[in-house]
Amino acid sequence: MLTVALAALRTRWTTLIGTFVALALGVGLIATMGLGLASTFDAPDREPQRFAASPAVVMGKDTLTVPVRRGASTAQVTQRLAHPHPVDSELLSDLRALGPVAPAGRQATGSGGPDAVGVDAPVADVRRVVGDRAQVLTGDDRRRADPSTEQDAEALLTVNALLGTAAGITAFVSVFVVSSTFAFAVALRRREFGLLRTAGATPGQLRRLLLTEAAVVGTLASAAGCALGHWGAPHLAQLLVDGEAAPSWFTIRPVAWPLHAAFWTGPAVALAGVWAASRRAGRTGPAEALREADVDTGVLPPVRRLLGFALLAGAVFLMTKSLVTDASGLLKRKTYTTQPMVLITAAALLAPLLVRPSTRLLRLPGATGMLVRANTAASLRRTAAVAAPVLITVALAGSVLGSAMTVSQARAAEAREHTRADLVVTGEDLKGLEARPVPGAVLSASASTAVFVREEGTALIRSQARAVDDAKTLAAVERLPVVAGDLRDLDDRSIVVNEEWERHTVGATVRVWLGDGRPVSLRIAAVLAIGTGNNGAYVTAANAPTAPVDRIDVRLAPGADRAAVTAALRDTGGTVRSTDRWLAATHPRTSPQTRLGLIVVLGIALVYTALALANTLLMAGSVRSTELNALRLAGATRSQVLGVVAGETLFAVGLGSVLGMAVTAVNLAGLGAALATLSAPVTVAVQWPVVGGTAGACAVVAVAAAMAPKAVRHG
């Protein structure tokens, strides 16, 4: 069978070149994204910089460790504190008695003490003196005291999220398109299969022939794809660095597992794509196969129909379940980029059901229009194969970009609704207002902090919070979405939470750890709606004493001198802006990093779609010589033949675009329902220029590829 398969490959290499290119490119994309993703798991090894000359570094405690349940046992969970502890003066005196202490260079936030010091003394003596009052770092662990260590971790987390999303979408697009291309390539050979069956080939032999061909093509394409991915990964890293989506030191690390994963994905996808088609070809009798070569029948077998409707029901169930149990989850990037994939797959599987009903709705004049409708209805496989990559690209462009813009605009609108302030002052450590109030203005100063809560005994949750100096001025300046309780009841023994907390009943007591790690029990004074995720907790400044004031919301009194108030606020050392300008600066529609990530994802999908369309239509056109010659012999002119081919192609692209926009509409409708459920502003943003441009680009590529084969142009 291997000999027959290799002979068939040598004879039909022009037909299989399209599937080879599609698979090689798919494996290359998976390898590229995998190598990039693997490079984000660890920061590069660096020598300690800040205290490189000190054998030991003493650093204040910067983590909170809490026991949680893990089945029948317990485990320790660690979170980074919002306000790390300083090295206090008493400990500094004890350390100076051991030996020289290197200057800290920076102070712990709001504490007045250093966050870390280097000690030139024996490590054992340093550990004995420090005890449990702080941390002692030695060797490579001294890098934890470098400011770049935390920055590197945050940068890697951002790149990891971006490449993780891109890798997931790339893998989905690659598998989807390659499977479709392989299945269509097999479908084009039905006449050949009929002849083989007539010559005595058994169904098993036919299936083994196709699977052997797929394995050979898949293996060769995977090897080429891995080489392409190994070449392309450094270019991807440089693109991310140039776009400031990755730190300047980010490079591709020499790891092998992404290449192994990508390589074995190729044959697996090739075999999966050809499996169903090979079984269908093996079950077809000789005469039936020859008859079926002209008009497609049995394109939607019961298994495909059942799977399509099952995925459709699954997509509806997942969205409904999310709306009922965790509407805020629909606003997360991983959710709104992956959930449309189920609906896209369902639409692609069921697309042949819509071809013939759609042709009946199509009204084109003359003989050309009649032939377009008839050929489209007869060639269901070709129409579905062209529509599939268009569907996935339009759906991803509309759903992913539309969802990102919808969430960003909802957050900006929510921030606008939640403030009554006329001016906003921002800075790292605002001071000077305690001794001299500003006439004609109500000021609400707050600091960024965090609180930690153990929920259900199994998880330690960090919640962003604001520490306010006075609850009554907060209520006067802000318009927070209170669903229970009263903001003005907030005091040093209470907290404001949102509905996402496990315990959110007014008057109930909740045990939390503050931003500096202190455990306290606080009474719930008020409860906020969840919103888009920016409605965090509120505590008083007494519960975050080391948190520096970084924002002052200012509401002007009627008749107040705005210029005088602005001049007085500049004494704080911060930046004074109008509320609109502050919102524009802090709540942009999309960040540059998010924008670059979306461009990478959608650009990959569009390029891959263009190649898949070209491959499919070149393969289809190469076997249409008999059909088109018969049309010419019947009296059709060259322009009429080209018009028929272009019309069929545009119909398939249009069908894919309509299905893609339908998927987009469903996903954005679900996102809008989630925003309404969360009491957030519903601002659905449909990116019509992007969707229209994507569909137009697909149409141009498809028509150009459909006209390219010699059988179409000359007969």
Helix residue ranges, H only, 418-553: 471-477
pLDDT tens across 350-397, in order? Answer: 888 888 788 777 777 777 778 777 777 777 778 888 888 889 889 988
Cα(245)–Cα(540) distance, integer angstroms: 36
- Which token pair is 102? 């290197």
Cα(315)–Cα(322) distance, integer angstroms: 11
pLDDT (0 to 100) of residue 465: 94
Cα(205)–Cα(586) distance, integer angstroms: 65
What residue ranges in 415-487 does DSSP mark as E strands? 423-426, 441-455, 459-468, 482-485
For 110-136, letters b (16+ CB in 10 Å) and e give bbebbbbbbbebeeeebeebbeeebbb
Contact 335, 674 (CB under 8 A): no
Mean pLDDT of 510-533: 92
Model confidence at 292, pLDDT cuts 50, 70, 90, reads very low
Q: Which amino acid is at 67?
A: P
Model confidence at 10, pLDDT cuts 50, 70, 90, reads low
* Residue recorded with tokens 């109500």: 442
The SS3 assignment for 576 reads strand
pLDDT greater at residue 294 or residue 139: 139
Model confidence at 293, pLDDT cuts 50, 70, 90, reads very low
Model confidence at 496, pLDDT cuts 50, 70, 90, reads very high
Model confidence at 126, pLDDT cuts 50, 70, 90, reads confident
Cα(194)–Cα(706) distance, integer angstroms: 26
Mean pLDDT of 425-442: 76
pLDDT (0 to 100) of residue 450: 94
Nearest CA-CA partner of 98 in 124, 135, 116, 131: 124
Nearest CA-CA partner of 650 in 614, 698, 610: 698
Residue 542 has pLDDT above 80, yes or no: yes
Residue 636 has pLDDT above 60, yes or no: yes
- Which token pair is 147? 């400011």
Contact 113, 85 (CB under 8 A): no
* Residue recorded with tokens 């080429």: 224
Mean pLDDT of 465-472: 92
Contact 87, 59 (CB under 8 A): yes
The rounded percent of the chain whose pLDDT value lies above 70 is 89
The listed range with the strongest mean pLDDT (363-367, 572-576, 654-658) is 654-658
Specify which residues 452 forms β-bridges with.
Answer: 462, 513
pLDDT greater at residue 289 or residue 177: 177
pLDDT tens across 295-306, in order? Answer: 555 556 777 788
Poorest-pLDDT segment among 281-285, 359-363, 494-498, 613-617: 281-285
Please tell me the chain's helix, strand, coil percentages from 3-state DSSP, rounded to the nearest 5. 60, 15, 25
- Which token pair is 286? 């000789």
pLDDT tens across 577-632, in order? Answer: 998 898 888 876 666 666 667 777 777 777 877 877 887 787 777 667 777 777 77
Residue 506 has pLDDT above 90, yes or no: yes
For 28-46, letters b (16+ CB in 10 Å) and e give bbbbbbbbbbbbbeebeee
pLDDT (0 to 100) of residue 203: 75
Model confidence at 110, pLDDT cuts 50, 70, 90, reads low
Cα(700)–Cα(294) distance, integer angstroms: 27
Q: Residues 6 or more apart from 598 whose CB is under 8 A from it?
A: 400, 401, 404, 590
pLDDT greater at residue 22 or residue 502: 502
Helix residue ranges, H only, 521-591: 562-569, 579-586
Cα(652)–Cα(685) distance, integer angstroms: 27
Poorest-pLDDT segment among 105-119, 302-316, 317-331, 334-348: 105-119
Contact 441, 587 (CB under 8 A): no
For the chain, give the number of residues.
Answer: 715
Cα(387)–Cα(347) distance, integer angstroms: 10
- Which token pair is 660? 């893609």
Query: What is the CA angle 522-527-529, rounded to 5?
Result: 145
Question: Hey, how many other C-beta atoms are within 10 angstroms of the C-beta on 90?
Answer: 9
Q: Which long-range contacts (CB under 8 A, 24 or more apart) does 91-98 make?
A: 91/58, 91/129, 91/130, 91/133, 91/134, 92/117, 94/129, 95/58, 95/119, 95/121, 95/126, 95/129, 95/130, 97/129, 98/122, 98/125, 98/126, 98/129
Model confidence at 495, pLDDT cuts 50, 70, 90, reads very high
Q: For 223, which DSSP code? A: H
Model confidence at 522, pLDDT cuts 50, 70, 90, reads very high
The SS3 assignment for 373 reads helix
Cα(80)–Cα(544) distance, integer angstroms: 15
Q: Residues 6 or more apart from 46 whose CB is under 8 A from it?
A: 143, 146, 148
Residue 497 has pLDDT above 90, yes or no: yes
Q: For 202, which DSSP code? A: -
pLDDT (0 to 100) of residue 424: 92
Poorest-pLDDT segment among 287-291, 376-380, 509-513, 640-644: 287-291
Cα(612)–Cα(653) distance, integer angstroms: 13
Contact 616, 391 (CB under 8 A): no
